[in-house]
């Protein structure tokens, strides 16, 4: 392993710990500066524990002693990015705006098509994708909406 | 160009006509929802399900009422959402719990208050009762008062949370006993009653209906109401009878409301039919079987009750 | 033996149809991520309106039993626990499935569920009068120590690094503090309107487990080359039975822990599986293999989960005090039919009460039969191509998170927590200690606050929390648990070579 990889590994390992350290410091700030500290006893204790543990983990990361978890390489990030984007659009826009069943059909179809290894050129692939999406949505609609009568988000449509 | 404008205008009118309720005269022409700000299975939830079960009968709404549970933060999540987002066409109703929602609107920054909600009718009134364990040395409220006076701050009393009916009853009782007690808030009425049964606290303030079910393991010393409960506990005196100045301010009233801005014709129609629905024989029978005290009140009576509670709570909670 | 006289109404055609329907439906609902037993029972209550009280309660009883066990199916095959109680099952169960032993894991899981479940219901039938009072005796100080005992196992739970496990636990404890606290009457850390109602445990569970799994399925891009497709080899049921019975130690630990935790109102029956898993590991000669697909872990977790069901109804049926969220929902279901649980239940409504309890017992048998059948079908589930599986789980996750409280905020919170957890999991953090923190936080805090108020009225904080036999016993357990963790950590450090470089 080269010197450079080692440094990169240590930096990678420090990222999540720095985030928890920041969170701990913020919780400590919020819970030590309130007017009535009584309901903030537990947050205070938790923030101290978080800061202490983060500092210990950071120390280990910088020394290179953190050996669990490999981090996220850039190529992996690029492969999952479209999927995460679909998830965000589906959850934040499609499902609440179009309605749960319509939004989910669109979300399901998009995510499935994006990651389906079969050729995008073939008509059969697209027919399969539409059939599976429609079938899945029909089953959950029958079970949840008609049989169990569960409330789901309503938008423009169901 | 003007042709298109005209067509577009017609489309817009058509669309508007389709989305708006056809007219208040046809109301309701589809199922109506009732939002309950507590979890399924809770007292408010199952009572709401019972009192709305005959809504589809022709003499009432002619349409079923569907219950939607939106619990969280002691009811605040559901009511906030209702007061800010519910449609004002009469198809979205909500259940209220007095004094909870009024106390919360005074104590916290909520999106709801007595001003932006319109009561329809009241179905139930569950007064708070003062209970002790069956093995407790206290047999009367007088015993409780004597102990509290001799040992200020030593008498622990459980109740469901802060700024709810139980807490308000507790505050009134503490004042009336002229002694110092210790309030132990719990996450709901059931855990609070459990603490009395398990002997973790010396006494408790709880719902009449819950205490009634556990009456074999408890002693129910007094009711925080202006009249006795003839239906379930005819032998238990009110605190007032016992000489303590506690009125019905803590009684947990449950009923139906809509958002302000709902068409007056719709409100009038609901205000006329819903109380009749609550008085239905099947509803009354089922409510009695479930141990739930019924008190049907009309819109005007509820309006007066809300105003009275708000004035009282503002004064009571000012010092806290 | 009174219960034997009341088996009659259970063995009619209608009753059996309801029980079978409830069991199959319950297993499937339980396996759906985000549909917890509490939720399933709540969904079914409106159906009982149209039935006689006896039939209505049979449906609820069978569904409750089956959803508790059903949550293990997705935990084992997909590492997505159906309910918080199934987290411990996912640890070793999924590791077994990854090795191709999914069918074996499911068979052992259902057999263990059956053992634990039947023992728990026998406790409900025979020991109810004795235990009801005892269960109510647990006060705030005891529950506080029980929660602390839970905190002591956070560090060693499903984490290769103790520091990271504890750190995840601390984050979980903090997440539990968000929102309105009815005991202290304050609103804390509401930095987004979505957090007004706090973070619901089910929304958190779905987010923390399901979302990272979905993203992992997408890691290969369009080629699918990275996601390990689980193969399920067939496995003989007879072998599974003899294997389960050879893990007697784990089954006994699981049943005892499940029964005790289930009995105590407010202890959060959800932790029964995790506590029992942890204890079984400590007492096992194979403790180093836990987490790598050791069937003993599955036995311990699943006996405990199901052993909890019967005892959790003891305080409800005898004293009308619901000890768990599911029991609270069942109380509503009983009251709607005009049936009052309490000391008179077995006098006034003996037929209904016993029919309900007997349906729980028959429900265990049906759960075992249908569960073993499902174990045979498991191979088909995992053959679904990853992009379809990922999309389907995503839709079900959104549905599950929303349906708990009809709140879209829960869906947003679920997704945000899930995305965060995916990134953290790449750095060696695990969701199990985080969820345990979310469960334990409110138990520890609310009981501490209540205890300190009661102590103020009594003899002070120290004597309230540190005296009394039960307190001292629990404190001893806490100390023993910490000492054990420290000693085993030091031993592991000594055995391992000094770390050189980060990999």
Q: Is the pLDDT of residue B55 over 60?
A: yes
Is C352 part of any domain? Answer: yes
Nearest by CB to residue C405, choosing from B70, B74, B216, is: B70
Q: How far is CA A104 from CA A96, A97, A155, B17, C384, in A?
A: 10, 11, 12, 29, 19
Give pLDDT, residue B17: 46
How does DSSP assign C344-378, residue by residue?
THHHHSHHHHHHHHHHHHHHHHHHHHHHHHHHHHH
Compute the distance between CA of residue B225 and CA of residue B44 in angstroms, rounded to an integer: 19
Among A41-55, A56-70, B46-60, the range of highest mean pLDDT: A41-55
Token pair 């994708």 is found at: A129
Residues C307 and C334: beta-carbon distance below 8 Å: no
Could you report the per-residue pLDDT of C85-130, keeping only the tens digit for each?
899 999 999 999 988 888 999 999 999 999 999 999 999 999 887 8
DSSP code at position A40? G
**Residue of higher predicted confidence among C209 and B17:** C209
Query: Who among A16, A65, A79 is closest to C219 (CB)?
Result: A79
User: Does C29 score more than 60 pLDDT?
Assistant: yes
| Domain co-membership, B132 together with B215 | yes
Question: Is there a domain that residue B16 lies in?
Answer: no
Q: Looking at CA atoms only, how far is residue A123 from chain C in angstroms?
A: 18
Please provide the average confidence, as pLDDT, over all residues in chain C. Answer: 87
Q: Tokens at residue C191, please?
A: 């930095």
State the nearest Cα–Cα gap between C383 and chain A, in angstroms: 15
- Would you give the DSSP letter of residue C337? T
Residue pair C358/C125 in contact by the 8 Å Cβ criterion:
no
Q: Interhelix angle for C431-457 vs C87-98, to 10°?
A: 170
The ipTM estimated for the assembled molecules is: 0.94
**Structural domain range at position C412:** 2-494
Task: Calculate mean pLDDT across residues B260-271.
Answer: 92
Q: Do A116 and C402 touch (CB under 8 A)?
A: no
* Residue C228 pLDDT > 80: no
C-alpha C165/C-alpha C292 separation (Å) is 17
Backbone torsions φ then ψ of C245, nearest 5 degrees = -70, -20
**pLDDT for B2 beyond 90:** no
Report yes or no: B159 and B167 within 8 Å, Cβ to Cβ: yes
Degrees (nearest 5) of the Cα angle C36, C40, A99?
A: 90
Helices (H), A33-158: 41-63, 74-89, 95-98, 100-115, 123-140
Residues C399-444: pLDDT tens digits?
A: 999 988 888 999 999 999 999 999 999 888 999 999 999 999 999 9
C157 within a domain of the structure (yes/no): yes
C446–chain B Cβ distance below 8 A for any pair: yes
State the average pLDDT over residues C44-50.
Answer: 82
Same domain, B133 and B81: no
In chain C the first and final C-alpha atoms are separated, in Å, by: 63
Contact call for residues C296 and C245 (beta carbons, < 8 A): no
pLDDT-based confidence at residue C226 (cuts at 50, 70, 90): low
Q: Say if B142 falls within a structural domain.
A: yes
Out of C170, C188, C218, closest to residue A115 by CB: C218
Return the closest-CA partner of residue C435 out of C220, C159, C102, C221: C159
CB C345 within 8 A of CB C53: no
Subunits with 3+ C-beta pairs closer than 8 A to C: A, B
Pairing of strands B117-126, B294-297: antiparallel
Residues B134 and B270 in one domain: no
The answer to whether the beta carbons of residues B94 and B257 sit under 8 Å apart is: yes
Judging contacts by C-beta atoms under 8 Å, the chain C residues touching residue A121 are none
Residue C496's pLDDT band, with cuts at 50, 70 and 90, is low
C308 and C122 in contact (C-beta within 8 Å)? Answer: no
B207, B224, B241 - which closes a domain: B224
β-pair type (B155-160, B203-207): parallel
pLDDT tens track for C437-455: 999 999 999 999 999 999 9
Q: Which residues contact B10 (CB under 8 A, 6 or more apart)?
A: none
Position C335 scores a pLDDT of: 82
Judge contact between C163 and A57, C-beta under 8 A. Answer: yes
CATH number, residue B146: 3.40.190.10
Q: Binning pLDDT at 50, 70 and 90, where does residue B27 land?
A: confident
Q: Is residue C502 part of a domain?
A: no
Residue B188 sits in which domain range? Answer: 128-224
φ, ψ of residue B218 to 5 degrees: the values are -130, 165
**Other residues' Cβ atoms within 10 Å of the Cβ of residue A4:** 8
On whether residue B19 sits in a domain, the answer given is: no
Subunit contact B194:C179, Cβ cutoff 8 A:
no
Classify residue C499: in a domain, yes or no. no
- Supply the pLDDT for residue A67: 62
Residue A70 has pLDDT above 50, yes or no: yes
Task: Give yes or no for residue C390 having a pLDDT over 90.
Answer: yes
Say if residue A25's pLDDT is above 70: yes
Q: How far is it, in rounded angstroms, from Cα B265 to Cα B53?
A: 24
pLDDT level of residue C493 (50, 70, 90 thresholds): confident
Average pLDDT, chain B: 88
Judge contact between C52 and C9, C-beta under 8 A: no
Q: Cβ of B163 and C456 within 8 Å?
A: no
Count of structural domains, chain C = 1
State how far residue B184 is from chain C, nearest Cα, in angstroms: 6
> What confidence tier does C322 reach under pLDDT thresholds 50, 70, 90?
confident
Whether residue C500 is contained in a domain is answered as no
Tokens of C169: 């636990």
- Of C408, C427, C499, Cβ closest to residue A16: C427
CA atoms within 13 A on the CB side of B240: 9
Count of residues in chain C: 503
Determine contact, residues C117/C320, Cβ cutoff 8 Å.
no
User: Distance between CA C385 and CA C371 in Å, rounded?
Assistant: 24
Number of domains making up chain B: 2
Coil vs helix vs strand at C181: strand
Looking from the CA of C96 toward its CB, the CA atoms found within 13 Å total 28
Q: Which residues of chain B does C352 touch, with a Cβ-Cβ cutoff of 8 Å? A: none
Q: What's the residue count for chain B?
A: 320
Q: What local confidence, expressed as pLDDT, does residue C328 receive? A: 85
- pLDDT single digits (tens) C73-97: 999 998 999 888 899 999 999 999 9
Domain identity same for B167 and B84: no
Query: Residue B74 CA to chain centroid, in angstroms?
Result: 12
Contact C427 A111 (CB under 8 A): no
CATH number of the domain at B102, please.
Answer: 3.40.190.150
State whether A9 and C503 contact (CB < 8 Å). Answer: yes
Per residue in B123-134, pLDDT (tens digit) is 999 999 999 999
B174 and B88 fall within a common domain: no
Is residue C65's pLDDT more than 60?
Answer: yes
- At residue B22 the predicted structure's pLDDT band, cuts being 50, 70 and 90, is very low
């Amino acid at each position: 392993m080269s010197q450079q990889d080692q440094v990169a590994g240590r930096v990678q390992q420090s990222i999540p710990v720095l985030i928890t350290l920041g969170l701990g410091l913020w919780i400590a700030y919020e819970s030590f500066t309130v007017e009535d500290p009584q309901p903030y006893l537990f947050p205070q204790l938790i923030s101290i524990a978080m800061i202490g543990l983060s500092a210990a983990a950071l120390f280990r990361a910088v020394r290179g002693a953190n050996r669990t978890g490999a981090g996220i390489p850039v190529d992996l990030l690029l492969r999952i990015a479209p999927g995460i984007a679909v998830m965000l659009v589906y959850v934040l826009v499609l499902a609440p705006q179009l309605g749960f069943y319509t939004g989910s059909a669109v979300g399901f179809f998009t995510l499935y098509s994006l990651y389906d290894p079969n050729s995008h050129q073939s008509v059969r692939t697209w027919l399969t994708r539409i059939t599976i999406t429609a079938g899945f949505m029909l089953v959950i609609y029958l079970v949840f909406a008609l049989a169990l009568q569960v409330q789901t988000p309503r938008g423009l449509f169901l | 160009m003007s042709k298109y404008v005209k067509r577009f205008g017609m489309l817009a009118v058509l669309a508007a006509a389709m989305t708006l309720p056809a007219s208040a005269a046809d109301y309701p022409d589809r199922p109506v929802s009732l939002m309950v700000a507590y979890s399924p299975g809770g007292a408010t939830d199952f009572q709401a399900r019972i009192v709305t079960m005959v809504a589809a009968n022709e003499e009432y709404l002619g349409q079923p009422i569907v219950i939607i549970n939106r619990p969280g933060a002691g009811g605040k999540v559901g009511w906030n959402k209702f007061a800010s987002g519910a449609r004002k066409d009469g198809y979205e109703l909500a259940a209220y719990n007095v004094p909870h929602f009024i106390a919360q609107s005074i104590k916290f920054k909520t999106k709801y208050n007595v001003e932006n909600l319109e009561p329809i009718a009241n179905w139930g009134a569950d007064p708070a009762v003062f209970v002790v364990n069956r093995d407790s040395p206290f047999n009367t409220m007088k015993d409780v008062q004597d102990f509290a006076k001799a040992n200020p701050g030593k008498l622990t009393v459980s109740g469901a949370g802060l700024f709810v009916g139980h807490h308000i009853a507790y505050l009134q009782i503490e004042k009336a006993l002229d002694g110092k007690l210790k309030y132990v808030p719990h996450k709901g009425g059931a855990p609070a009653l459990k603490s009395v049964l398990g002997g973790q606290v010396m006494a408790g303030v709880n719902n009449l209906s819950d205490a009634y079910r556990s009456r074999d393991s408890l002693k129910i010393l007094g009711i925080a109401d202006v009249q006795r409960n003839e239906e379930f506990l005819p032998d238990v005196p009110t605190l007032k009878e016992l000489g303590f100045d506690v009125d019905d301010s803590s009684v947990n009233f449950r009923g139906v409301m809509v958002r302000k801005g709902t068409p007056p014709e719709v409100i009038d129609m609901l205000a006329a039919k819903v109380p009749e629905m609550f008085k239905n024989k099947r509803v009354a029978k089922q409510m009695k079987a479930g141990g739930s005290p019924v008190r049907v009140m009309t819109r005007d009576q509820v309006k007066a009750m809300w105003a009275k509670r708000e004035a009282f709570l503002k004064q009571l909670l000012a010092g806290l | 033996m009174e219960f034997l006289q009341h088996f009659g109404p259970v063995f009619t055609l209608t009753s059996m149809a309801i029980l079978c329907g409830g069991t199959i439906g319950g297993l499937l609902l339980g396996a759906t991520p985000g549909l917890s037993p509490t939720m399933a029972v709540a969904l079914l209550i409106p159906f009982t309106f149209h039935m006689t009280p006896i039939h209505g309660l049979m449906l609820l009883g069978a569904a409750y039993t089956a959803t508790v066990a059903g949550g293990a199916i997705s935990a084992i095959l997909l590492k997505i626990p159906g309910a918080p109680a199934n987290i411990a099952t996912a640890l070793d169960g999924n590791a077994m499935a990854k090795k191709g032993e999914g069918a074996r894991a499911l068979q052992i899981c259902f057999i263990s569920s059956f053992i634990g479940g039947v023992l728990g219901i026998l406790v409900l039938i025979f020991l109810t009068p004795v235990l009801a009072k005892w269960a109510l005796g647990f006060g705030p100080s005891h529950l506080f120590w029980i929660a602390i005992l839970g905190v002591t196992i956070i560090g060693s739970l499903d984490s290769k690094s103790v520091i990271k496990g504890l750190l995840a636990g601390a984050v979980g404890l903090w997440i539990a503090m968000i929102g309105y606290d009815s005991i202290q009457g304050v609103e804390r850390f509401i930095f987004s309107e979505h957090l007004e109602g706090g973070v619901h445990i089910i929304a958190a569970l779905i987010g923390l487990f399901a979302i990272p799994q979905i993203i992992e399925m997408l890691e290969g891009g369009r080629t699918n080359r990275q996601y390990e497709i689980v193969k399920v080899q067939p496995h003989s049921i007879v072998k599974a039975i003899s294997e389960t019975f050879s893990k007697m130690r784990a089954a006994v630990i699981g049943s005892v822990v499940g029964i005790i935790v289930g009995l105590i109102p407010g202890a959060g029956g959800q932790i029964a599986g995790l506590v029992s898993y942890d204890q079984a590991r400590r007492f096992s000669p194979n403790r180093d293999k836990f987490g790598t697909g050791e069937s003993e872990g599955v036995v311990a977790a699943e006996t405990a989960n199901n052993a909890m069901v019967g005892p959790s109804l003891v305080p409800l049926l005898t004293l009308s005090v619901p000890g768990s969220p599911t029991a609270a929902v069942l109380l509503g279901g009983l009251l709607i039919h005009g049936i009052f649980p309490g000391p008179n239940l077995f006098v006034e409504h003996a037929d209904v009460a016993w029919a309900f309890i007997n349906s729980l017992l028959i429900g265990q048998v049906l759960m075992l039969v249908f569960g073993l059948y499902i174990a045979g079908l498991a191979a088909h589930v995992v053959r679904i191509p990853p992009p379809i599986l990922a999309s389907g789980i995503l839709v079900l996750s959104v549905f599950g998170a929303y349906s708990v409280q009809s709140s879209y905020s829960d869906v947003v919170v679920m997704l945000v927590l899930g995305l965060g957890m995916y990134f953290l999991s790449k750095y060696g953090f695990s969701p199990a200690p985080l969820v345990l923190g979310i469960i334990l936080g409110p138990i520890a805090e609310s009981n501490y606050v209540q205890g300190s108020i009661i102590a103020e009225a009594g003899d002070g904080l120290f004597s309230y929390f540190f005296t009394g036999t039960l307190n001292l016993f629990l404190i001893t357990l806490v100390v023993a648990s910490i000492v054990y963790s420290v000693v085993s950590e030091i031993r592991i450090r000594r055995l391992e070579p000094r770390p050189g470089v980060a990999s």
